[in-house]
Amino acid sequence: MSLFLTFVTSLMLGMRHATDPDHIVAVTTIVSRERSVMKAAGIGAVWGIGHTITLLLVGGAIIAFKVVFDARLGLSLEMSVAVMLIVLGLLNIFDVRTSTRGINPSRPFFVGIVHGLAGSAGAALLIVPLIDDPRWAALYLLTFGFGTIVGMALITVTIALPSLLATAHLPSVQRSLPLASGAVSLVFGIYLAHKIGFADGLFTSEPRWTPR
């Protein structure tokens, strides 16, 4: 029973993980040009798949080989998310498209991989002390990843639906939404980079990192 509750908890944590502010900002920036709820859900799922692949690879290495993550490495991986948010924001602001028809699936997949790099270490380091058997720990990570995929698909639908309704009645929103979401992503990315670099100490002699 306790093992069952552990995996239910991992599924719920994975879904909650999808609601982290940096995840929401990133996926909002990506789907701001999308005009289909189903396609938006697919984008969220692709993001989650990229995240889960990295989670399994990096988290699996931590579990199997007892890879040690120090504060500077952990913060460096989180800094990659900040840089990615800045890049996504600039792409939207300057209307840079990776495909002539909708959104290239490689973009959300790559974004998911980057987020996975930042989140996999924290997820694995938190469960290693709780599950001794590497096989069960790997299954825990897989369940966590599945929860993230489902959670992100639901979140993208929740984000896309109001924007679709708004653009249907207010065409001007369709033009301004990508710019607005790009500006939010850029500002949040800069804020996150400053926080990680200076408040958390990546660019100082005493970095402080808490896995999450």
What is the pLDDT at residue 182? 92
Alpha helices in 20-170 (DSSP H): 21-31, 37-65, 71-93, 106-127, 134-169
- Which H or E run includes 11? helix 2-17
Q: Residue 128: what pLDDT?
A: 60
Q: Which domain holds residue 103?
A: 2-199
151 lies in a domain?
Answer: yes
pLDDT given for residue 100 in this prediction:
44
Question: Is 18 contained in some domain?
Answer: yes
Confirm whether 189 is domain-assigned. yes
In a domain, 205, yes or no: no
For residue 56, CA distances in Å to 21, 62, 82, 91 come to 22, 10, 22, 29
In this prediction the pTM is 0.86
The ranges of the chain with pLDDT < 50 are: 99-100
DSSP 8-state class, residue 195: I
- Asked, for residue 128, whether it belongs to a domain, the answer is yes
Residue 204 lies in a domain: no
Helices (H), 94-133: 106-127
Cβ contacts of 186 within 8 Å, gap of 6 or more: 85, 86, 89, 90, 93
The answer as to whether 207 is a domain residue is no
What 8-state DSSP symbol labels residue 69? -
What does the pLDDT read at residue 204? 94
- How many domains, in total, are found in the chain? 1
Residue 6 within a domain:
yes
